[in-house]
Structure 1
Amino acid sequence: MTRLACLTLLLASAALAPAFAADWKMDPAASRLDFAATFEGTPAPGVFKNFEVRLDFDPERPADGRLEVRIGVASADMANADINKAIAGPEWFDFARHPQAEFRTTEIRRVQGNSYLARGTLSLKGVHQAVEVPFSWSGAADGASMQGEFIVKRLPFGIGTGEWAATNVIGLDVTIKFRIRLRKAS
């Protein structure tokens, strides 16, 4: 009788224990990471072609979640060969010394419905800054998607220094937009 009671208690405890967040991996072909600066008030869009997203996330338990984004900074493309050459240099992204940027969460929380907020640290060009990334989540049995938009101030990261530091030519704010398609990791 004691063994049966212990077994029943063990099974009941397992059923009530918090589940681990689902493990998600990005589908690169169906995902985008765009950025837009402004040049004399006109949008100057670009895209990062090489990035990776890893997400441990259960929309019902967002506080247990973890998000990590790695960006191959040298994959930045602003659709203009001269601009692409310039942004590779030390006044901009400095591809040679800082080939990768990274975002890691410290917290994910639900804001309302399918809207969430990821707080974490963005590491770019050797600088680490706290940022907040709002996103929406849409899940299904075969996969999920997350999308959002946020603003980063470029100068604290040393992006656009020297003659480019004046914000009347290149705006201070850079808008980051993302649309990520995810599948459950095996």
Structure 2
Amino acid sequence: MTEPMTGLTPTSYNRYSRYLHWLMAFLILFMVFLGWRFDDKDSLIFTRANLHKSIGILIILLTLLRIALRLVYKAPPAAPMSKWQIWAAHALHVGFYVVMIGLPLSGWLMVSTSTRDIPFFGMTWPHLPVPQTHDAHETFEAAHGLIAKLLFYVMIPLHVLAALKHQFVDKDTVMEHMVPGLKPRPILNYRWLLPIGVVGSAVVLGFGVLRGTPQTRNDAPPPVASVASSEAPEASASVSEAAASSVSETASASQAAAVTNWVVDKSATKIAFSTSLSGEAINGGFSSYSAAIAFDPEQLDKSRVKVTIDLSSVSSGDNDRDGSLKSDAFFNVAVTPKAVFEATSFTKTDATHFVAKGRLTLHGKSQPLSLPFSLIIKTDTATMTGSTTIDRTAFGVGSGEWAATDALPAKVKVDISLKAKAAK
């Protein structure tokens, strides 16, 4: 645990500070290169984002530890240099400490403007007490980007160039402060493997890890797993057998006594939605619902449909995102756990195409909604497909940073494919 010394004067930083220096150098560079890939729209974009958040919090903790070590252990003396160089070196080092806290802190502030949980390597990190508004998010995001540019384009190049100047021009011992034995001569020294390895591995891993399947907004969505599924951000709804069984309500039956009642085949039914977040396609659906369907193409005036969706069954293939959808920023399932579409008026456009007109109640608000659909009935089996667009802002779905429609559009497409059997 002892360090090389001349008398009581250390010739390098203590080993713990050196270890932290190179670990943090790797993490910071890795974070920069990983952050550049946020524009890549693939199936692991949210996994990369969660890793970015986790490492950001880790950097704050490591910076505080490094400051503590700096106070406990004596630093090696500065190499002989002019006063302006001493001042510049001191200012740059202080600047690094400020930025190493300020950069992840601005990111922490930014994600705290959302109700979504902040991940920290599988655990949940607390939010900072900031307004959960779009304007606050934009402010902290701009600060985060500005500090990142200052670090990568100004401070790191200055730090590296200064170190190389000391090594090859001044030929002093500055590099040995962090790499003991890396003397100016001989130039070819195996100890160069440490700084080169740190930079190289940060580049390779930053650009190479967590590469998912490229996705486009026109990709055919795969089936959604259960609500507890993870790592399928492009999934749409394939309703599970574990969903609640179909309910046929007696009120509808009495209103249309001569109209066929239908029981939904959950294994062949999908209630799906699609939207995008900053240009990335998001597909999801609901796996739990009940449906009371009394419908006859020849008795549209007596037909009635009521579908009740359990919003807590939402699944978009990403647990973190699903938690955000259930929160008070979106569906607020603790207060309004159900969405209800009730259609009492139907029009026929041709032999197999109809329009259901009714009202959708969502997030405590009720709005008119029309659902165009096609229907084919063979004997006792009905196959229906329908599609409509819902304006989430009309129902107050999306608050705080999600109230704006630049990153998350107001219009959400809903697709329904349904198979049902005539009730016996």
Contact 1:52-1:69 within 8 A present in 2 as well: yes
Does 1:47 find its partner at 2:285?
yes
Instruction: Give 1:13's aligned residue.
Output: none
Correspondent of 1:126 among 364, 384, 396: 364
CA distance in 1, matches of 2:325, 2:285: 13
Q: Is contact 2:263–2:422 with CA below 8 Å preserved after alignment?
A: yes
Asked whether the equivalents of residues 303 and 344 of structure 2 are also in contact (C-alpha less than 8 Å), the reply is no
Q: Which moved more, 1:77-86 or 1:18-27?
A: 18-27
8 Å CA contact retained: 2:264, 2:418: yes
Q: Is the 8 A contact 2:353 2:373 kept in 1?
A: yes
Change (3 A) 1:185 1:19: closer
Structure 2: segments with no counterpart, 5+ residues: 1-255
Residue 87 of structure 1 pairs with residue 317 of structure 2: no
Structure with the higher fraction of residues in strand conformation: 1
Q: Show structure 1 runs of 4+ deviating over 4 A.
A: none
Tell me the CA shift for residue 185 of structure 1.
1.6
Name the CA distance, whole Å, in 2 between partners of 1:66 and 1:106: 5
| Worse overlay, 148-157 or 59-68 | 59-68
- Aligned-partner Cα distance in 2 for 1:43–1:53: 28
Query: Which one of the candidate residues 352, 376, 399 is aligned to 1:138?
Result: 376
Higher relative contact order (CA 8 A, sep 6+): 1
Distance change (3 Å), C-alpha of 1:110 and 1:19: farther
Query: How many residues matched?
Result: 169
Task: Provide the residue aligned with 2:123 in structure 1.
Answer: none
1:69-88 pair list within 5 angstroms: 69-88=307-326
Q: CA deviation at 1:47?
A: 0.8
The within-5 A match list for 1:56-75 is: 56-75=294-313
Q: Deviations over 1:99-154 (max 9, x none)?
A: 11100012011111210000001001110000000011010113111111000000
Greater percentage in helix: 2
Of 149, 153, 170, which residue of structure 1 is paired with 2:408? Answer: 170
**Aligned residue type for 1:118:** A
Alignment of 1:157 onto 2:399: no
1:169, CA displacement in angstroms?
Answer: 0.5
Q: Is the 8 A contact 1:91 1:158 kept in 2?
A: no
Summarize deviations over 1:30-81 as a string: whole Å, max 9, x none.
1110001221233211110112222111112222211111100000001001
SS at match of 2:409: coil
The separation in 1 between residues aligned to 2:399 and 2:349, in whole angstroms, is 36
1:27 Cα deviation (Å)? 1.1
Q: Which moved more, 1:58-67 or 1:143-152?
A: 58-67
- The residue matched to 2:347 in structure 1 has which SS? strand
In the other structure, the counterpart of 2:344 is 106
2:272 aligned to which of 31, 34, 47? 34
Aligned with 1:160: secondary structure?
coil
Q: Which has the larger radius of gyration?
A: 2
Distance 1:151 1:45 in 2: 14
- Find the residue that maps to 2:388 and give its secondary structure: strand
Calculate percent identity across the aligned residue pairs: 28
Once the two structures are TM-superposed, the CA of residue 19 in structure 1 deviates from its matched residue by 8.0
TM-score (norm 2): 0.39
CA distance in 1, matches of 2:397, 2:408: 10
| Stretches of structure 1 lacking an aligned partner (at least 5 in a row) | 1-17
**CA–CA distance in structure 2, aligned partners of residues 142 and 132 of structure 1:** 26
SS of residue paired to 1:74: helix
Aligned pair partner of 1:97 in 318, 328, 335? 335
Task: Give, in angstroms, the shift of residue 183 of structure 1.
Answer: 0.8
| Residues 51 and 69, structure 1, Cα contact 8 Å, conserved in 2 | yes
* CA–CA separation in structure 2 for the residues paired with 1:112 and 1:140: 17
Distance in 2 between residues matched to 1:19 and 1:75, nearest whole Å: 32
